[in-house]
């Protein structure tokens, strides 16, 4: 039985800004791009969230919701430095760490000798040290697998700790809304709702074959998650192959012009995610992804193309022409070259 901790910093970028400038504390604060440049919100503090401000929201819309919102530019160097310090704390308790972003990671402490092997006490100590040494807060979830640990870390946010022990899994998951399951987005949740499936207890009434018929290969994963089963290991060296952002729209985008209007917002979000990468990656081919209203989809990438907004507009136009019908989902991204892997290969074959 694994012992997994999921650690998630509370409004990380905003927390660093409030720590470094205490005058910002207690006021609505967001980190993001300027409204006059079609910027978007990267993250915001809880005072801003009370006004309805959310990550990935256009800055202009956020300012309409909260006129007193203070928007500051991201300082990625400061966030990366804090992330390195946090990961240094993690490594005091385990080397089995899977970073998901600068402010989020899975830790496998199954064989950790610290605190007599108690994952709960390790998580409590990590939270205490981050607070004491970095003066920000993190939330943590402890569970027998990654799926449940991630849900647990969000259960008592902000600045919370929630533990799901093995004997609690069955009852805890039974009450869980299916919208909380890993991989279940709005479209899948709506489809499950139409089938009368709202909770995992409802989902358990379906057999595996029935779910596969309705949802393809994802149906088998739904069957497992409804029973709290997740066999994924914490990946110590899970190297990225791409970075991307995408959005499913409540109303289909009717034509190419409507799609192009949504592109600057996606482009800003992609740049924010790209800034989180370390120097061991190099951006390569840009790509776009389109899912049409009938769920058919296409992806188009181009070697040698630039990664500016004009280039993405050209790619989007070419991809849209493949279907030329209303669009439900748009995504853009960049393929990555793993420079660390190339360096290791050179060393391996050096004379």
**Which residues are catalytically annotated?**
104
Place of tokens 């070697």: 303
pLDDT at 238: 61
Query: Among the three residues 157, 192, 225, which one is the final residue of a domain in this structure?
Result: 225
Query: Among the three residues 146, 165, 184, which one is the final residue of a domain in this structure?
Result: 165
pLDDT at 52: 96
- Does 232 fall in a domain? no
In the chain, the number of structural domains is: 4
- Does 236 fall in a domain? no
Please, which pLDDT band fits residue 302 given cuts at 50, 70 and 90? confident
Angle at 300 between CA 295 and CA 302, to 5 degrees: 175
pLDDT at 179: 92
pLDDT at 183: 85
Which helix or strand (DSSP H or E) is residue 304 part of?
none
- Does 230 fall in a domain? no
Residues 128, 59 within the same domain:
no
What DSSP line would sit under 234-297, residue for residue? P-TT---SEEEEEEEEEEEE-SHHHHHHHHHHHHHHHHHHHTTS-TTEEEEEEEEEEEETTS-E
Angle at 83 between CA 80 and CA 88, to 5 degrees: 130
- Does 231 fall in a domain? no
The 10s digit of each residue's pLDDT in 12-32 is: 999 999 999 999 999 999 999
Which structural domain, as residue segments, surrounds residue 67? 13-75
More confident residue, 96 or 273: 96
More confident residue, 30 or 235: 30
Query: Among the three residues 75, 102, 126, which one is the final residue of a domain in this structure?
Result: 75
Please, which pLDDT band fits residue 343 given cuts at 50, 70 and 90? very low
* Average pLDDT, integer, range 57-73: 94
pLDDT at 344: 39
* Annotated binding residues for Mg(2+): 8, 103
CATH of the domain at 39: 3.40.1170.60
* Average pLDDT, integer, range 258-278: 89
pLDDT at 351: 35
pLDDT at 72: 95
Q: Is pLDDT at 107 greater than 60 in this prediction?
A: yes
- Does 53 fall in a domain? yes
CA–chain centroid gap for 49, Å, is 18
Please, which pLDDT band fits residue 237 given cuts at 50, 70 and 90? low
Ranges 168-172, 208-212, 270-274, 323-327: which has the least confidence: 270-274
């Amino acid at each position: 039985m694994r012992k997994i901790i999921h650690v998630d910093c509370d409004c990380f970028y905003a927390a660093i800004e409030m720590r470094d400038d205490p005058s910002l504390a207690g006021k609505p604060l967001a980190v993001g791009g300027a409204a006059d440049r079609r910027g978007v919100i990267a993250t915001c503090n809880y005072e801003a969230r009370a006004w309805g401000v959310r990550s990935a929201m256009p800055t202009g819309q956020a300012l309409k919701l909260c006129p007193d919102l203070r928007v500051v530019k991201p300082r990625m160097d400061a966030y990366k430095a804090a992330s390195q310090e946090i990961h240094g704390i993690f490594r005091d308790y385990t080397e089995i760490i899977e970073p998901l972003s600068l402010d989020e990671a899975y830790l496998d402490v199954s064989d950790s000798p610290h605190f007599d092997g108690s994952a709960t006490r390790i998580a409590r100590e990590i939270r205490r040290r981050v607070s004491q040494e970095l003066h920000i807060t993190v939330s943590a979830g402890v569970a027998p697998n990654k799926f449940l640990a991630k849900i647990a870390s969000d259960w008592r946010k902000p600045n919370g700790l929630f533990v799901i022990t093995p004997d609690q899994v069955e009852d805890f998951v039974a009450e869980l809304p299916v919208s909380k399951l890993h991989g279940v987005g709005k479209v899948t949740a709506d489809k499950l709702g139409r089938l009368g499936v709202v909770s995992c207890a409802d989902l358990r009434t379906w057999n595996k074959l029935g779910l596969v018929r309705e949802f393809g290969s994802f149906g088998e994963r739904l069957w497992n998650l409804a029973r709290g089963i997740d066999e994924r290991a914490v990946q110590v060296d899970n190297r990225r192959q791409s970075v991307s952002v995408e959005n499913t729209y409540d109303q289909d985008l009717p034509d190419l012009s409507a799609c192009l209007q949504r592109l600057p917002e996606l482009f800003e979000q992609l740049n924010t995610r790209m800034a989180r990468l370390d120097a061991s990656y190099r951006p390569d081919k840009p790509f776009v992804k389109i899912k049409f209203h009938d769920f058919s989809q296409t992806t188009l990438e181009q070697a040698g193309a630039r990664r500016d907004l004009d280039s993405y507009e050209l790619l989007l136009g070419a991809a849209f022409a493949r279907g030329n019908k209303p669009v439900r989902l748009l995504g853009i991204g960049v393929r990555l070259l793993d420079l660390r892997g190339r360096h290791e290969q050179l060393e391996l074959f050096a004379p």
